[in-house]
């Protein structure tokens, strides 16, 4: 945990997978093939609080969904890569675009497709339901499940490591 805390201090960008991280991983389709996802409102506010500290947020996901486009827009997530087969390629493009080093980035993923990024980023975050091989490569595994507050927990962990959490919370205590 000490290592994760130290790594979190340098983070300027947090990238999230969607299914299994921002959601519980369930996929819902209606008879016409429209996709539905359930997002946690606590996670959403955690993302907004993190952004208010100057940390940038992004999404890299293997699936493509208008639901994700709407959620990202609602949360002010400006960097969204959907339908990505090679997450490492998207990650490297994002680093170049923003002029960041790997050490300045965190990535939160839950499956083997996330490993190429998890093993290269500065702070690798996963969730309890991830396969063992993914958790073995994570610097921090949340106690809460994907879609049930895991994103909020990760955001608060980074804010606490960067000593910005108290200032964010003070705003609500006035």
Task: Tell me how many helices (H) and strands (E) the chain has.
Answer: 8, 8
Q: Reduce the DSSP state of residue 90 to 3 states and report it.
A: helix
Kind plus residue range of the DSSP H or E element containing 33: none
Q: Which of 13, 21, 76 is nearest to 43 (CA)?
A: 21
110 appears as a binding residue in the annotation: yes
CA–CA distance, 130 with 158 (Å, rounded to integer): 20
17 appears as a binding residue in the annotation: yes
Phi, psi of 60 (to 5 degrees): -130, 115
Kind plus residue range of the DSSP H or E element containing 58: strand 56-60
Binding residues for Mg(2+): 17, 110
Binding residues for substrate: 19
Binding residues: 17, 19, 110
């Amino acid at each position: 945990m000490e290592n994760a805390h130290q790594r979190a201090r340098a983070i300027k960008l947090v990238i999230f997978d969607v299914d299994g991280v921002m959601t519980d991983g369930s996929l819902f389709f209606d008879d016409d093939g429209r996709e539905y996802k359930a997002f946690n409102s606590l996670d959403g506010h955690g993302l907004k609080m993190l952004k208010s500290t100057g940390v940038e947020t992004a999404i890299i996901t293997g699936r493509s969904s208008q639901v994700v486009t709407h959620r990202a827009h609602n949360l002010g997530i400006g960097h969204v890569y959907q339908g990505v087969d090679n997450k490492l390629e998207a990650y490297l493009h994002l680093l170049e675009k923003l002029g960041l080093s790997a050490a300045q980035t965190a990535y939160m993923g839950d499956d083997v497709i996330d490993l190429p990024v998890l093993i290269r980023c500065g702070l690798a975050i996963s969730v309890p339901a991830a396969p063992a091989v993914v958790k073995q490569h994570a610097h921090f595994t949340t106690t809460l499940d994907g879609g049930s507050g895991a994103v909020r927990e990760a955001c608060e962990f980074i804010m606490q490591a960067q000593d910005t959490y108290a200032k964010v919370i003070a705003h609500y205590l006035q």
